[in-house]
Structure 1
């Protein structure tokens, strides 16, 4: 199936002021370790996926100015599917629901923003 016929499915999270504030604190905390431009060497490769594509590099470089604050689109990606299947899913109505994270992890990214190597994680004490 050609890539142009494939899309991502996800659960979209309504961005609250608290979540946007947490995001800004995270950006501020990692700012001393970031670069405005990077190369493929900054990403994780595998033998199955040895090259990092330019769209991945461009997306990461533009994420903070373009995808944070009021432009933040928090979500959980649940998989890929054909555009036809995804369009059918969009016609269905899902009831809103609340959830809370049980933990959080930081990953070294690979192509397409995939979480390739876990760097650290924290679990709730609940």
Structure 2
């Protein structure tokens, strides 16, 4: 009897601490709510991407599977409520008037890894961008779940450790990448850190650009905006 009781307690504990089991019961999609930059920024991002591909061919290419974009939020949402997500985000975007936003690119930067880094063009964080991010958080909140399985993304990574890291990143995007932690940028590619150190030290002439639209994408490996689900144009 004691053994059966112990097994029962162990089973209950296992069920309680499994962070994905609840999400697996309902289909979940990992989404990126993003701004699409105009040609001014897109051309600069494409030029930087071409440069990085020459020195590191294993870098990602800015194409249909990785559009230049500025992430506002990343979240896990219930798949059967995606239509409601689109409607809520659409209303928030219409109220925000994103076509009137003036954004400033301020420098090249990169996020370092072990030997390489992910490069990007940093965008100045403004009160308007912060409010837009909070509006997106509020719009998506009713349809959000805490976490999800790797099947919520377009594809898994080759290594399970990378799957776990990406799931954790999206699950904690709010609050870890929002508000004062918001780092608006357009990713441009991957290269060795030694090369990126030199690239980011080069003079950078700030420039003004605007969003040409917005979208919701399903996230893919390494957090790429991999599959367009919904788009809006001003």
Give deviations 1:88-107, integer Å, cap 9, x for gaps: 11211201111101111210
Q: Does 1:77 align with 2:200?
A: no
Deviation at 1:41?
2.0
| Bigger radius of gyration | 2
Deviation at 1:116?
1.5
Alignment of 1:32-47 (within 5 A): 32-45=142-155
TM-score (norm 2): 0.49
Q: Distance in 2 between matches of 1:4 and 1:49?
A: 18
Q: Which has the higher helix share?
A: 2
Aligned position for 2:226: 116
2:214 pairs, out of 80, 104, 121, with 104
Q: Match of 2:145, SS?
A: coil
Give deviations 1:17-66, integer Å, cap 9, x for gaps: 011001001011111111112221211117x8696611110110111111
Aligned position for 2:173: 63
Q: Does 1:23 align with 2:133?
A: yes
- May I ask how many residue pairs the two structures share in their alignment? 122
Q: Distance in 2 between matches of 1:76 and 1:49?
A: 25
Q: RMSD across aligned C-alpha pairs, in angstroms?
A: 2.1
Q: Which has the higher strand share?
A: 2
Aligned position for 1:13: 123
Q: Distance in 1 between matches of 2:227 and 2:200?
A: 32
TM-score (norm 1): 0.88
